[in-house]
Amino acid sequence: MRHALILAGGSGTRLWPYSTASLPKQLVPLFDGRSLLDLALERAEAVASQVWLGTGEQLRGAVSCVAGLVPERVIIEPSGRDTLPALTLGMATIVASDPDAVVAVLTSDHLIEPLAAFVATLERGFAVAESRDDTLVTFGVVPDHAATGFGYLELGAPLVGAGDALTVARFAEKPAQVRAEQLVAAGSLWNSGMFVWQATTFLRAVEAFAPETHALTLRVLAGDLSAWDEIAKVSVDYGVMEPASTSAAFTVAALPLSARWLDVGSWPQYGAALSLTADSNSVGAASTVLLDSHDCVVASSDPSHLVTLVGCEGLVVVHTPSATLVMPSHQAQRVKELHARVAADFPSLA
């Protein structure tokens, strides 16, 4: 059976003050009353018979209110240990209910459209994974610029008998600008962080490359929750995908994602997901008056609150009932630094 596991445990600190510890960005209604998780659920339901959600203990209450989730398929991580432990726990839980499960691992913090193109790509990924019990399939995004904020998939030879799938020769972490330009010129893809594989294949890879994580996770599933804190924090790319790509026992394959993919990880990126006004402003607020202002991102979670700008250029202005953020767009990556200060000085607002 085809399953989908949505990972929804991130904190999204660069979208503060919308995104907070109790209501991170994937749960905030950013797009016409719908959250990124709502959109992720729609995608998952279009490709899988059963949809699962992996999230943290701190979000148990928040996700319980999300329409469409089956409570028995919400997998709670006792604490954040990064993506490898999260996926190991998720795959082991799914295998317990369906030993033949083929699972798509989907993100909850991206905007991907149109849905039909996404579904077509996932169908090809499922077909590859279902026919090859040694293969871990990942999805790459064709870059439109040399971004330094994304990881890259360096591609190798075509995967025989698998359509447009290519082997992944190596993974490149977030590179410097010159290296990013070289990767794009060589045809590398952005790493989307989405996968398809037979759940048992993934668990064999974890046992091979991260045996302690595998063993401790099985202890957790057997009821020893204290074992969770012994698991090392490590990403799935570093812990499994990278060693698997050079292993004789496994194959890592990549498919290009034939859909628009936007990582809504900062306020300018949120603005890029909105329609532009005549003055090139991105507005996610019900009530605004923008006078002689352009290239700004304006957001408000309070429909009764009026946001006004006069003579502004290249600003991000975000209003919530509890906090207001104003900054030049080019300083957007510093929101994470700001959030740390807010957490120290005003913890209830972080």
Interior/surface letters 177-187, b for 16+ CB within 10 angstroms, e for the rest: eeebeebbeee
pLDDT for the residue 62: 85
**Structural domains of the chain, with CATH:** 2-263 (3.90.550.10), 267-349 (no CATH)
Question: Rounded CA gap, 23 and 64, in Å?
Answer: 12
The per-residue b/e assignment along 36-52, b for 16 or more CB within 10 angstroms, e otherwise, is bbbbbbebbeebbebbb
d(Cα 180, Cα 148) in Å, to the nearest integer? 6
pLDDT given at position 33 = 85
- Residue 116: Cβ-neighbour burial (10 angstroms; 0-12, 13-18, 19+): exposed
Q: Is the pLDDT of residue 310 over 90?
A: yes
Q: What percent of the chain has pLDDT over 90?
A: 83
What is the average per-residue pLDDT within 62-81?
Answer: 89
Q: What is the pLDDT of residues 142-200, one digit of tens each?
A: 998 998 888 999 999 998 777 889 999 999 988 999 999 999 999 999 999 999 999 99
Q: Per-residue b/e over 227-257, b at no fewer than 16 CB within 10 Å?
A: bbeebeebbbbbbbbbebbeeeebbbbbbbb
- Per-residue pLDDT tens for 205-215? 999 999 999 99
pLDDT at 263: 86
Q: What is the mean pLDDT of the chain?
A: 94
- CA 117, 89, 169: angle at the middle one, nearest 5? 55
- Residue 230 C-beta-side C-alpha neighbours within 13 Å: 14
Q: Give 100-120 pLDDT, tens digit per residue.
A: 999 999 999 899 999 999 999
Nearest to 70 by CA among 98, 99, 41, 93: 41
What proportion of the chain, given as a percentage, has pLDDT over 70? Answer: 100
pLDDT tens digits, one per residue of 9-31? 877 889 999 999 888 889 999 99
Task: Please report the DSSP string for 65-99 in residue order.
Answer: TSTT--GGGEEEESS---HHHHHHHHHHHHHHH-T
With a cut of 90, say whether residue 68 has pLDDT above it.
no
Say yes or no to pLDDT of 350 above 90: yes
- pLDDT score, position 109: 87
Q: What is the pLDDT of residue 226?
A: 94
Q: Residue 124 has what pLDDT?
A: 95
